[in-house]
Amino acid sequence: MTTTLISGGTVVSATGRGEADVLIDGETIVAVLAPGSHLLGTDLAASVDTVIDATGKYVIPGGIDAHTHMELPFGGTNASDTFETGTRAAAWGGTTSIIDFAVQKYGERVQDGLAAWHAKAAGNCAIDYGFHQIVGGVDDDSLQAMRGLVDEGVSSFKLFMAYPGVFYSDDAQILKAMQVSADTGLLTMMHAENGPAIDVLAAQLAEAGKKAPYYHGIARAWQMEEEATHRAIMLANLTGAPLYVVHVSAKQAVEQLAWARDQGWNVFGETCPQYLYLSLEEQLGAFSEEWGQFEGAKWVCSTPLRSRGEGHQHHMWQALRTNDIQMVSTDHCPFCMKGQKELGLDDFRAIPNGIGSVEHRMDLMYQGVVTGKITLERWVELTSTTPARMFGLYGRKGVIQPGADGDVVVYDPNGHTSISAATHHMNMDHSAWDGFEIDGQVDTVISRGKVIVDGGAYHGAKGDGRFLKRGLSQYLI
Ligand code: URP
Ligand code: ZN
Ligand code: ZN
């Protein structure tokens, strides 16, 4: 078995930082030692197979992106990253595990949806991967099948209060699914937007000739997110289901979550980099006047980008700091402009929803450290440790300690990363982050003991990643 010593770096965890060497034997971290340690009289650096010099760099647990959609069929097309391309791009960006969403559509069996996602991912991933289960058709059969998910290592499921006719569940269906969640410990993940009301607003805008991408954000008003978030919270409280609200973007939705948490309720929220940096007026608004330009489509996602003037981005950073929001995932759902986003050239309602960011999450969130919005420890907590705890991976993932998987990233705070579509590794013909200049750089990425990125080169292989059978969330009470 290969032994690797990461020496001379600053090891950062969710709770602190310190100079230490990390020893990996095979796939597993076996020791975290004082710098330059000898083990049983042996000079470690001289006796291991590989030494990685991390002097002046941070040594952090590999990132866990708990919200991705590789190959998702959506909006009349499929998300453009396959498990192969998307997980490789993730690895480039310092993410060593993803949790993707297996899909059950109305009329399909949950077991078949899950099996289909296993078939897409198996043998193709560069990094370890797990699944949540989308339940797009709640009925007696799917409710029964959900009870078997925990045994499959799928300990969370997602429901949609949005997208009528696609994945949408009404309140009665949500209530029944949450009763299963309360019974089994499955974590309920919720897309909280009032879909039926949004569809009326969107149709009225389109009828009035307002069909540019910008109007996607107008139709999906913050009131639609606040209302649905509140409804999800109350249904969860009634049933006793643990609730995790995905891709939160509106400050009013954050206030709902904070209020519920202040009641002591078991409610959590995730946001995404796009809701911290990008805005409706700067990204989509800038292109709304010239209908000939379709650029705004790059940033059409749901929940939508919010107005900076209304203070959502500022509020979201604060919520990350105060733990009103606990995690940052990407909601990686890439579509190319050519042939995909342009399906909605004549009408924003036909633009496939989604932004691709799986490669950039660690870098983008590190900018919060650079600008003093979050601490180094909080960066690790938001991007790795809490995702591991939330989704039943902690101990194996999310921490550098003996017994954990050898998933380690060496991050250079003095490095620099320029984001552009010409250099990224995601299968996209554009970047929502084009022109972003990053202070910091992913230097080396180790996945279960194997160096997969180092010195600007990729050393991994398709099929390196294994399926992660997850346990129950550590946040269950
Ligand atoms: O725009 C988004 N978020 N697309 C992916 C599907 C979802 O709702 O997460
Ligand atoms: Zn969603
Ligand atoms: Zn999503």
Domain ranges of the chain: 62-385
Residue 465, pLDDT > 60, answer yes
The set of protein residues with a Cβ atom below 6 angstroms from ligand 1 is 69, 191, 247, 301-302, 331, 333, 353-354
Of all ligands present, the nearest one to the C-alpha of 353 is 1
Report the separation in Å between the CA atom of 419 and the middle of ligand 1, taken as the mean of its atom positions.
Answer: 22
Residue 74, pLDDT > 50, answer yes
Please state the atom number of ligand 1 nearest to the C-alpha of residue 353.
Answer: 1
Report the separation in Å between the CA atom of 193 and the middle of ligand 2, taken as the mean of its atom positions.
Answer: 9
Residue having the nearest C-alpha atom to atom 8 of ligand 1: 302
Range name among 39-53, 222-236, 278-292, 416-430 with the lowest pLDDT average = 278-292
Burial of 290 (0-12, 13-18, 19+ CB in 10 A): exposed
Report the separation in Å between the CA atom of 335 and the middle of ligand 3, taken as the mean of its atom positions.
Answer: 13
Between vectors from CA 106 to CA 103 and to CA 108, what angle results, nearest 5°?
70
Q: What is the pLDDT of residues 338-382, one digit of tens each?
A: 999 999 999 999 999 999 999 999 999 999 999 999 999 999 999
Copy the structure tokens of residue 145. Answer: 């099948």
Taking phi over 0 as left and psi of -120 to 50 as alpha, with beta for the rest, 197 belongs to alpha
Residue having the nearest C-alpha atom to atom 2 of ligand 1: 354
Please state the atom number of ligand 1 nearest to the C-alpha of residue 67.
Answer: 9
- In this structure, are strands 128-135 and 95-104 parallel, antiparallel, or unpaired? parallel
Residue having the nearest C-alpha atom to atom 9 of ligand 1: 331
Superfamily of domain 62-385: Metal-dependent hydrolases (3.20.20.140)
Q: Which of 98, 302, 348 to mutate to test the pocket of ligand 1 (most atoms within 8 A of CB)?
A: 302
**Contact, 198 vs 220, CB < 8 A?**
yes
DSSP state of 352: P
Q: What is the pLDDT of residues 223-249, one digit of tens each?
A: 999 999 999 999 999 999 999 999 999
CA proximity to 320, closest of 242, 262, 257: 257
Query: What's the rounded Cα separation, in Å, for the pair 389 and 397?
Result: 9
Residue 96, pLDDT > 60, answer yes
Q: What is the pLDDT of residues 41-56, one digit of tens each?
A: 778 888 999 999 999 9
